[in-house]
Copies of this chain bind each other. A is one copy, B any other.
Amino acid sequence: MNDKGEFDLEDFLPYALNQAAETTSRGFSTYYRDRYGMLRTEWRVLFHLGRYGEMTARAICDRAGLHKTKVSRAVAALDGKGLLSRRTDPDDRRHERLALTGRGQGVFSDLVDAARRYDAAISSGFTRHEREVLRDCLSRIARMRPRVPR
């Protein structure tokens, strides 16, 4: 709200969050798109396999909070780029065990390094205290399921 109690869009939290999210997403997606032709879901799936090791698509869905259709398409794309391997579990042939290839691990390393640098670059303008408050607020908001009150 401004001095007169009028409502300005900049003060509306969903708008402010969206502007900040778009700004930061763009800078990073440019990196993985230009270098590896990857989409956001591909980066997230690659990240989970690189960070936590071999797992099924189902496990990625659960851990990453992604729907199975998104994961399915991302896995196919990463496979097409030679970044992951899929092998059917002989004990239950519905499951596919997914793992990064050597190239996939290289891309993972590069992207995690880039992400660290990117995060540091964005955070560098803030004090330690501001960073902590920001991250805490964001994680609490992400766990809400807010509705417009009556």
Contact = CB atoms under 8 A, between A and B. Distances in A.
Interface of A: 6-14, 16-21, 23-25, 27-28, 30-31, 44, 47, 51, 64, 112, 114-123, 125-126, 129-130, 133-149
28 contacts: A7-B115, A9-B44, A9-B51, A13-B24, A13-B119, A13-B122, A13-B123, A13-B135, A14-B24, A16-B142, A17-B138, A20-B21, A20-B137, A20-B138, A23-B144, A24-B141, A24-B146, A31-B148, A114-B148, A117-B149, A118-B147, A118-B148, A118-B149, A122-B141, A122-B146, A125-B140, A130-B137, A134-B137
Nearest to A65: B19
A140 to B, nearest CB: 6
- Copy tally for this chain in the complex stands at 2
A41 B91 CA distance: 51
Contact of A141 (B13, B23, B31, B148): B23
A110 B16 CA distance: 20
Nearest to A35: B148
